[in-house]
């Protein structure tokens, strides 16, 4: 009898490979924005409940990242930026990533529901499903609006944080959602401008691949023009104090200046790299200022409680 069996080689994946599968950099931004959503909410969250909620949100974000890497393994292997991920490198199989992601997602959602509240758990479940199914499976390979619509998944963590603290959703976290939602296109399109060859090779219809360099730069300016004033709306509506308002206006002005420089530069890469780097700093500082504002007793919770 000379039949052969194909079997999977025993795994050599280390703990670091699984951590990498959870996209730790994305996770850190998710945790930070969720923390801000939680801390600016009215009332008091017990630190233990808050910590449990943040762990569940972080694990949920990691689960979404693992499911994304599982489905995108083929295109990740064709892009220089992602070719070093655990699945393209052969450290983890797509099946292992899928099992890991589904297990983490189940744990995170059920734990958030049992330990914190059902509204936050439902929002987390929706976010993971939106990112893994709507964005990864459907939008990413089919439309240049992929990161515009898909950006909703990345914009939800502050809403989940708020829901974890209050058990409900209000106008304030929806404003934070909108800020991240309109921040996402300039952020990712700036990246895709200097990674356009990568995206083209992988067959992903990012805006620069489909509509060209010039149109992408124009749309970055448009979205930044919406984002900059939107960042100041929490202050204009009285949900945040003047310190935050001033910071939002200054940061927004810098974003607009960088976007205009990007449009003026046309085919170069320096401005797009700078725009991408500053956009991360922009979001971090904007949300950090909300926290500072809250700590000084002038933010959402203060106004909502009064």
Which residue is listed with tokens 């569940």? Answer: 56
Give the DSSP per-residue string, 18-67.
Answer: HHHHT-HHHHHHHHHHHHHHHHTSSS---HHHHHHHHHHHHHHHHHHHHH
Q: Which residue's CB is nearer to other proteins, number 107 or number 194?
A: 107
Q: Which residue's CB is nearer to other proteins, number 48 or number 305?
A: 48
Please count the CA atoms within 13 angstroms of the CA of 101 that sit on its side-chain side. Answer: 27
In the complex, what is the shortest distance from the CB of residue 21 to other proteins, in angstroms, rounded to a whole number?
A: 12
Best CA proximity match to 84, nearest among 28, 21, 29: 21
What is the rounded distance in angstroms from the CA atom of residue 152 to the CA atom of residue 149? 6
Q: Which residue's CB is nearer to other proteins, number 103 or number 269?
A: 103
Best CA proximity match to 306, nearest among 79, 87, 110, 42: 42
Q: Which residue's CB is nearer to other proteins, number 55 or number 225?
A: 55
In the complex, what is the shortest distance from the CB of residue 263 to other proteins, in angstroms, rounded to a whole number?
A: 47
In the complex, what is the shortest distance from the CB of residue 203 to other proteins, in angstroms, rounded to a whole number?
A: 25
Cα R_g (the chain), whole angstroms: 20
Which residue is listed with tokens 């983490």? Answer: 104
Q: Which residue's CB is nearer to other proteins, number 55 or number 292?
A: 55
- In the chain, the N- to C-terminal Cα span, in Å, equals 82
Which residues form the interface with other proteins (CB under 8 A)? 1-15, 18, 46, 48-49, 51-52, 55, 90, 93, 107, 111, 115
What is the rounded distance in angstroms from the CA atom of residue 305 to the CA atom of residue 154? 28
In the complex, what is the shortest distance from the CB of residue 132 to other proteins, in angstroms, rounded to a whole number?
A: 21
In the complex, what is the shortest distance from the CB of residue 246 to other proteins, in angstroms, rounded to a whole number?
A: 38
């Amino acid at each position: 009898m000379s039949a052969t069996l194909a079997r999977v080689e025993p795994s050599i994946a280390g703990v670091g490979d699984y951590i990498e599968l959870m996209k730790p950099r994305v996770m850190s931004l998710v945790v930070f924005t969720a923390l801000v959503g939680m801390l600016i909410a009215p009332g008091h969250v017990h630190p233990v409940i808050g910590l449990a909620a943040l762990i569940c949100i972080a694990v949920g974000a990691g689960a979404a990242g693992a499911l994304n890497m599982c489905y995108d393994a083929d295109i990740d292997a064709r892009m220089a930026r992602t070719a070093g991920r655990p699945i393209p490198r052969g450290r983890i199989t797509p099946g292992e990533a899928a099992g890991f992601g589904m297990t983490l997602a189940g744990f995170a959602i059920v734990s958030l529901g049992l330990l914190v509240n059902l509204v936050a758990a439902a929002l987390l479940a929706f976010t993971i499903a939106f990112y893994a199914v709507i964005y990864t499976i459907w939008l990413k390979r089919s439309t240049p609006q992929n990161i515009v619509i898909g950006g909703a998944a990345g914009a939800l963590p502050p809403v989940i944080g708020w829901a974890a603290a209050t058990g409900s959703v209000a106008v304030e976290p929806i404003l934070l959602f909108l800020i991240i939602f309109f921040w996402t296109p300039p952020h990712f399109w700036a990246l895709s401008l200097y990674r356009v060859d990568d995206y083209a090779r992988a067959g992903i219809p990012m805006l620069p691949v489909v509509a060209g360099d010039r149109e992408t730069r124009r749309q970055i300016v448009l979205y930044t023009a919406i984002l900059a004033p939107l960042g100041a709306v929490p202050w204009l509506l009285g949900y945040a104090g003047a310190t935050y308002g001033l910071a939002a206006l200054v940061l927004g002005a810098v974003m607009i200046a960088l976007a205009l420089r990007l449009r003026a530069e046309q085919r170069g890469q320096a401005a797009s790299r700078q725009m991408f780097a500053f956009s991360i700093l922009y979001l971090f500082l904007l949300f950090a200022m909300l926290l500072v504002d809250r700590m000084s007793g002038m933010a959402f919770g203060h106004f909502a409680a009064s």
